[in-house]
Structure 1
């Protein structure tokens, strides 16, 4: 059976188009390259539309657009993902909940968490379909900003690695956004988080809301044309198993 195409939430593209306006860029030009987007809050679009968005938008800004766009999207705009992270009691709980969310609703991106020998953890964003590296940077920057928001600014990874080349000049935009210089040329987008930061409490913990949102996330299915729920479940489980050898 041929692999079904990857899909991404239309909400992500709508938020990014709004972010282009905030950055003073020509969002109409990018919108023309995309064509019309569905209005339904849970609508999906082919991942190829996401690829077209990055190809059309980056020449308007240059390196660092992905992180800059993440910085324009307010906490709460991503709905369930934001409140899953925000209602957890610690950074660890927020990261694990984000991983659950991606496993349930994303066919183009995976969020991986690996324990390190020193008690820290690596949080990695990997592409499951052909995807520009800017998309991986955007996802990592979005998670970084959510974790910093829910810890009142206390979240600071030991290392923030991006799968992009080092800019020829200064990278002041990313430095201002992250408060630290990223490392370049990584095989994926990743954060290395030390043990103390992993255990850092959040400022917005809500155990009852968190339990309800985790249950909702566990029940979500990402609809694909022609897929049965069994096909969706098998595809997700087999993809994870293959990635782990």
Structure 2
């Protein structure tokens, strides 16, 4: 099974995700976002950014999620996480939260006539698009939300939940990706940190998944706003104050979405 996800930008479909399900039940997710890691002269150009979900038969409880970054210099970075949300139906695991850039780069070009799933359009000149990618049990649907667009794709052994939010803030030329990572809870001495790690591995309820998504959205937007402010000279105090005031109102309005 293969499927492509695109978003409409200025009347054209821009590819942001593609999914491939193998006969083994493994699911590969390619993310079309981010042209490089770091900034010149120390940047590394990305050839492919993907996630893979492996519901191994060796465990009755856990599934492995792996992130792979392949670079044009043939170097690669990998990281992994474990979750029992898929097999035990204990919640929804947040794989990654993404703030997209303006989607103008050639890597977003769609190589087919139309994607299988088309996300409602957004205007990068006035809006920023953010996405949360969660996974859970294939038989447990994620309900719709009145302010957050929710799309779901079911594979043989896993349900993928995509949450989309558009905010009134111009998209930048750089995006932001926040991946989840796990490690053995027994290796964590702090009791609160260990409890939080176990909860993450178990996955979150629908309500907690939305809260997590909104909290990460706010964090990424705050970073985006600070980057924008860094390009405005201190002498332009009125402009800086205006942006800070408008941004504060935006962040406050977004924070209320977690409780609606």
Do the structures match in fold with TM over 0.5?
no
Q: Relative to total residues, which structure has the larger strand share, 1 or 2? A: 2
TM-score (norm 2): 0.27
Which structure carries more relative contact order (alpha carbon 8 Å, separation 6+)? 1
Q: Relative to total residues, which structure has the larger helix share, 1 or 2? A: 1
TM-score (norm 1): 0.28
Q: Point out the structure with max Rg over C-alpha.
A: 2
